[in-house]
């Protein structure tokens, strides 16, 4: 029987065996030796925004410090990332033209497909994840096919399957469905297998909250819904148990990696999920989490390196194996620079 009133670290008897208070002599190397967590770029996934076509990298106003890459120049970036020790990218595409059904998303020459090809040529070992959603491809900015003002779940899942196959055919290692449709993982798994891509993995955005912290991303990906919001398909931030249920469903449907998003506002979900699933868990530190720290650091209110590093440790401590973060290149640089 558990005795919740007894703190496990309280010594039982202080009278007969008094504990001597002492501290080990610590140096930075001793602290490193015993640190539970070792920051390393080897656990980072870097999100990359693509321009609709070729062209030089251009700044993203809502994400200062980040660039949107042309489908030809992304190869050079890939080489740099490998040199920096960053093992993986997560690609976000933009179409040349937004359509009602967002069909450029599954085109054989979409920005994502062209980028995958140029990354594969430039950096064969970089692991490629691709975001699979419709929101940046549709005129209305919702994550699926609309029927009236409602999302048609099954029609959307069918399109997500087509997008995934297009990405897998170009050479993506993992597709990352982020539309939060029901049964999207099962649908995508079946589509990939039917097309002969059974070795392509699914990194499922399984627990994705309807978060205010996606604001800067929507500007970067031009994907703000033209009416309504995403609360019909994303999770209510008040519901932790429901988040665990979503993780469970995606695991059952065949997800290879479970993504929790956002990261700091959902540390409890990561920590509760950790002992329940053998899957790698990836935490997505989203655009608003990046923007908060960047903005405060720019004003001199926070020390950027210390603050970012602390968030990484917290996310890692909660149980995440991988961190998807816009700070990946900064973290790699800081780790090269040493303490
Ligand atoms: C697409 C998608 C979004 C993000 C990742 N994939 C936006 C959204 O759901 O509105 C957010 C990422 C970020 O904020 O960094 N559905």
Name the pLDDT band for 220 (thresholds 50, 70, 90): confident
Q: Whole-model pTM?
A: 0.92
Question: Percent of the chain, pLDDT > 70?
Answer: 94
Residue 17 lies inside a defined structural domain of this protein: no
Q: Mean pLDDT, to the nearest integer, of 93-116? A: 95
DSSP state of 70: P
Ligand 1, atom nearest to 47 Cα:
15
| CA 218 to centroid of ligand 1, rounded, Å | 7
Task: Pick the residue whose CA is nearest to atom 10 on ligand 1.
Answer: 214
332: left (phi over 0), alpha (psi -120 to 50) or beta: alpha
Residue 19 pLDDT exceeds 60 = yes
Q: Output the pLDDT for position 3.
A: 44
Residue 124 lies inside a defined structural domain of this protein: yes
79 has catalytic annotation: no
Residue 9 lies inside a defined structural domain of this protein: no
Given the structure tokens 């099954």, which residue do they identify? 154
Q: How far apart are the first and last CA of the chain?
A: 45
Residue 16 lies inside a defined structural domain of this protein: no
Instruction: Return all residues near 199 (Cβ < 8 A) that are at least 6 apart.
Output: none
Name the pLDDT band for 228 (thresholds 50, 70, 90): confident
Ligand 1, atom nearest to 213 Cα:
14
Q: Mean pLDDT, to the nearest integer, of 305-332? A: 97
Ligand 1, atom nearest to 234 Cα:
9
For 141-176, the pLDDT digits (tens) are 999 999 988 999 999 999 999 999 999 999 999 999
Q: Output the pLDDT for position 20.
A: 65
Of 65-69, 187-191, 215-219, 220-224, the one with minimum mean pLDDT is: 220-224
Ligand 1, atom nearest to 136 Cα:
1
Return mean pLDDT, the chain. 92
Task: Pick the residue whose CA is nearest to atom 6 on ligand 1.
Answer: 178
Instruction: Return all residues near 173 (Cβ < 8 A) that are at least 6 apart.
Output: 127, 128, 129, 200, 201
Backbone phi, psi, residue 218, to 5°: -65, -30
Local structure of 162: helix, strand or coil = helix
Q: Output the pLDDT for position 321.
A: 96
Local structure of 89: helix, strand or coil = strand
Q: How many residues does this entry show for the chain?
A: 339
What tokens does 225 get? 């819904």
Q: Mean pLDDT, to the nearest integer, of 262-275? A: 98
Neighbours of 10 (CB within 10 A): 7
Catalytic-labelled residue, pool 79, 98, 149, 261 = 261
Question: Percent of the chain, pLDDT > 90?
Answer: 80
Bridge partners for 284 per DSSP:
324
* 221 and 167 Cβ atoms separated by less than 8 Å: no
Q: Output the pLDDT for position 26.
A: 83
The secondary element (H helix, E strand) that includes residue 299 is none
213/252 Cα distance (integer angstroms)? 28
CA atoms within 13 A on the CB side of 167: 33
What are the percentages of helix, strand and coil residues in the chain, rounded to 5? 40, 15, 40
Rg (CA), the chain: 22
Residue 158 lies inside a defined structural domain of this protein: yes
- Best residue among 45, 91, 137, 178 to mutate for probing ligand 1's pocket (most ligand atoms within 8 Å of CB) is 178
What tokens does 243 get? 């988040």
Residue 29 lies inside a defined structural domain of this protein: no
State the total domains in the chain.
1
Burial of 281 (0-12, 13-18, 19+ CB in 10 A): buried
- Domain carrying residue 245: 38-336
| CA 74 to centroid of ligand 1, rounded, Å | 20
CATH code, 265? 3.20.20.70
Residue 226 pLDDT exceeds 90 = no
Residue 18 pLDDT exceeds 70 = no
Burial of 226 (0-12, 13-18, 19+ CB in 10 A): exposed
Backbone phi, psi, residue 176, to 5°: -120, 90
| CA 140 to centroid of ligand 1, rounded, Å | 15
Separation in Å, CA 133 to CA 124, 157, 208, 226: 25, 10, 13, 16
Residue 171 lies inside a defined structural domain of this protein: yes
Residues with CB under 6 A from ligand 1: 131, 133, 135, 143, 178, 214, 217-218, 230, 286-287
What tokens does 314 get? 């917290």
Residue 72 lies inside a defined structural domain of this protein: yes
Task: Pick the residue whose CA is nearest to atom 5 on ligand 1.
Answer: 178
Q: Output the pLDDT for position 5.
A: 45
Q: Output the pLDDT for position 6.
A: 41
| CA 261 to centroid of ligand 1, rounded, Å | 9
């Amino acid at each position: 029987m558990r005795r919740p009133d007894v703190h496990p670290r309280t010594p039982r008897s202080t009278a007969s065996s008094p504990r001597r208070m002492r501290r080990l002599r610590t140096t930075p190397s001793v602290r490193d030796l015993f640190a539970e967590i070792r920051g390393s770029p080897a656990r980072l996934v870097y999100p990359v925004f693509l321009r609709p076509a070729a062209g030089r990298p251009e700044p993203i106003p809502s994400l200062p410090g980040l660039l949107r890459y042309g489908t030809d120049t992304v190869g050079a970036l890939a080489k740099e990332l490998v040199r920096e020790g960053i093992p993986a990218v997560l690609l976000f595409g933009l179409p040349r033209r937004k359509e009602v059904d967002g069909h450029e998303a599954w085109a054989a020459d979409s920005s994502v497909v062209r980028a995958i090809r140029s990354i594969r040529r430039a950096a064969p070992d970089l692991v490629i994840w691709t975001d699979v959603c419709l929101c940046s491809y549709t005129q209305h900015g919702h994550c699926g096919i609309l029927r009236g003002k409602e999302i048609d779940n099954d029609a959307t899942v069918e399109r997500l399957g087509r997008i995934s196959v297009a990405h897998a055919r170009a050479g993506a290692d993992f597709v990352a469905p982020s539309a939060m449709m029901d049964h999207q993982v099962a649908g995508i798994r079946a589509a990939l297998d039917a097309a002969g891509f059974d070795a392509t993995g699914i990194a499922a955005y399984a627990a994705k909250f309807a978060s205010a912290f996606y604001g800067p991303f929507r500007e970067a990906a031009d994907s703000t819904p033209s009416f309504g919001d995403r609360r019909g398909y994303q999770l209510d931030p008040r519901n932790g148990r429901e988040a665990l249920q979503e993780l469970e469903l995606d695991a059952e449907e065949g997800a290879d990696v479970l993504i929790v998003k956002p990261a700091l506002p959902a540390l409890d979900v990561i920590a509760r999920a950790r002992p329940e699933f053998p899957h790698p868990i990836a935490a997505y530190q989203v655009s608003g989490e990046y923007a908060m720290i960047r903005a405060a650091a720019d004003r001199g209110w926070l020390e950027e390196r210390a603050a970012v590093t602390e968030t990484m440790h917290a996310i890692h401590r909660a149980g995440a194996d991988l961190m998807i973060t816009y700070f990946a290149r900064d973290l790699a640089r800081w780790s090269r620079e040493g303490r």
